[in-house]
Structure 1
Amino acid sequence: MNRALGALDDLVTKPKRELDTAAVCRRYRISDTTLDRRLDDRSSRFPQPHWRGRRRFWLESELDAYDAARRLVLEAPMKLELFS
């Protein structure tokens, strides 16, 4: 089975887990400033945070879905080259 589709199946069964800004930066190995740039760039389709007071949180399931969608997009050109 395709890994990206398997990740989408996991979204149904995973409990909701929230990641704060520092955890999201560690997950993607980016700085806080780069995270802000991704949020400002609508073409990146990076998940928007949920706010609690002045703190930002992301649902892990939304980040997993974003990662799975990116993998599908990145793998698509490689698959097309195989059939050429």
Structure 2
Amino acid sequence: MASTISVPEPDDFLPARRVWERYGVTQMTLWRWLHDDKMRFPQPVYFGRRRYFRLSDIESWERQRITDSGAGVPQ
């Protein structure tokens, strides 16, 4: 019986490089965000040795950051 390798769909997952490019940060900054409990940055999913981030988790984190900052909320 042949085994199959599951490959993430490009629209559902972002590789780590695309995440740090999205925010204009370095790989080290992304590592710090992942280890900073206050940031609550989404944790990656591993496919083999590669890290991917669920796009839905990233977008949810972005919305939460806006809500937490109070941006767009009338005073």
Query: Fold match, TM over 0.5?
Result: yes
Relative contact order higher in (CA < 8 Å, ≥ 6 apart): 1
1:21 lines up with 2:8 in the alignment: no
RMSD after superposition: 1.4
1:44 lines up with 2:45 in the alignment: no
Q: Structure 2 unaligned runs (5+)?
A: 1-10
Deviation at 1:43? Answer: 1.4
Q: Percent identity?
A: 33
1:55 lines up with 2:47 in the alignment: no
Give the letter for the 1:47 counterpart: P
CA distance in 1 between partners of 2:70 and 2:24 (Å): 21
Q: Structure 1 unaligned runs (5+)?
A: 1-15
User: TM-score normalised to the size of structure 1?
Assistant: 0.70
Deviation at 1:53? Answer: 1.1
Give the letter for the 1:48 counterpart: Q
User: TM-score normalised to the size of structure 2?
Assistant: 0.78
Q: Figure out how many residues of one structure are paired with residues of the other and give that number.
A: 64
